Amino acid sequence: MSVTEQTYDVVVLGAGSTGENVADIVVRGGLTAVLVEPELVGGECSYWACMPSKALLRGTEVLLEARAVDGAAQAVTGEQDVDATLARRDTFTSHWDDSGQVSWVEGAGIDLIRGSGRLDGERTVVVTGTDGGETRLTARHAVAVCTGSVAATPPIDGLADVGPWSPRDATSAKEVPGRLLVLGGGYVGCEMATAWHALGAEVTLLQRGDRLLPAAEPQASEAVARSLRESGVDVRLGTDVTGARREGDTVVLTTSDGEFRGDEVLVAVGRAARTRDIGLETVGLEPGTYLPVEETLRVTGHPWLYGVGDANGRSLLTHMGKYQARQAGAAIVARARGQEPDTSDWSPFVATADAAAVPSVVFTTPQIASVGRTAARAEKGGLPHRVVEYPIGNVSGAALFADGYEGTAIAVVDTEREVLLGVTFVGPGVAELLQAATIAVVGEVPIARLWHAVPAYPTVNEIWLRLLETYRG
Ligand SMILES: Cc1cc2nc3c(=O)[nH]c(=O)nc-3n(C[C@H](O)[C@H](O)[C@H](O)COP(=O)(O)OP(=O)(O)OC[C@H]3O[C@@H](n4cnc5c(N)ncnc54)[C@H](O)[C@@H]3O)c2cc1C
**What is the domain partition of the chain in residue ranges?**
3-47+93-150+272-353, 159-269, 366-472
At residue 185, φ and ψ (nearest 5 deg) are -110, 30
CB of 274 shorter than 6 A to ligand 1: yes
What's the pTM value of the predicted model, to 2 decimals? 0.97
Domains 3-47+93-150+272-353 and 159-269 share a fold: yes
Position in ligand 1 atom list of the atom nearest CA 278: 41
Phi, psi of 216 (to 5 degrees): -90, 170
Q: Is 321 in the pocket of ligand 1 (CB under 6 A)?
A: yes
The predicted structure's pLDDT at residue 82 = 98
What pLDDT, on a 0 to 100 scale, did the predictor assign at position 355?
A: 93
Closest atom of ligand 1 to 117 CA is 42
CATH 3.50.50.60 applies to domain 3-47+93-150+272-353: yes
- State the Cα torsion 62-67-71-74 to the nearest 10°: 110
Whether the CB of 317 sits within 6 Å of ligand 1: yes
Q: If one looks up domain 366-472 in CATH, what number appears? A: 3.30.390.30
Neighbour-count burial for 160-186, b at 16+ CB within 10 Å, e otherwise: eebebbbbebbbbbeebbebbbbbbbb
Could you give the C-alpha distances from 265 to 60, 80, 179, 182, 278, in angstroms and in order?
22, 23, 9, 6, 30
CA of 323 to the centre of ligand 1 (A): 14
Parallel/antiparallel/unpaired status of strands 111-119 and 305-307: unpaired
Q: What angle do CA 381, 384, 388 make, to 5 degrees?
A: 105
Task: Determine whether the shortest distance from the Cβ of 36 to ligand 1 is under 6 A.
Answer: yes
Is the CB of 14 within 6 Å of ligand 1?
yes
Per-residue confidence (pLDDT) for residue 130, from 0 to 100: 83
Cα(12) to ligand 1 centroid in Å equals: 14
The predicted structure's pLDDT at residue 437 = 98
- Output the CA 367–ligand 1 centroid distance in Å: 22
Q: What percent of the chain has pLDDT over 90?
A: 99
For a ligand 1 pocket test, name from 13, 50, 360 the mutation site with the most ligand atoms within 8 angstroms of its C-beta: 50
Closest atom of ligand 1 relative to the 116 alpha carbon: 42
Q: Is the CB of 38 under 6 A from ligand 1?
A: yes
Q: What is the pLDDT of residue 132?
A: 87
The protein residue whose alpha carbon is closest to atom 35 in ligand 1 is 14
What are the two backbone dihedrals, phi and then psi, of residue 3, each rounded to the nearest 5 degrees? -115, 125
Residue ID of nearest Cα to ligand 1 atom 33:
14
Whether the CB of 44 sits within 6 Å of ligand 1? yes
Ligand 1 centroid to residue 258 C-alpha, Å: 35
User: Which homologous superfamily is 159-269 in?
Assistant: FAD/NAD(P)-binding domain (3.50.50.60)
Q: Whose C-alpha lies nearest to ligand 1, atom 5?
A: 50
What is residue 1's predicted lDDT score, i.e. its pLDDT?
62
Which of 40, 187, 317, 322 best tests ligand 1's pocket when mutated (most atoms within 8 Å of CB)?
A: 317
Whether ligand 1 lies within 6 angstroms of the CB of 316 is answered as: yes
Low-confidence ranges of the chain (pLDDT < 70): 1
What is the structure's pLDDT at 417?
Answer: 97
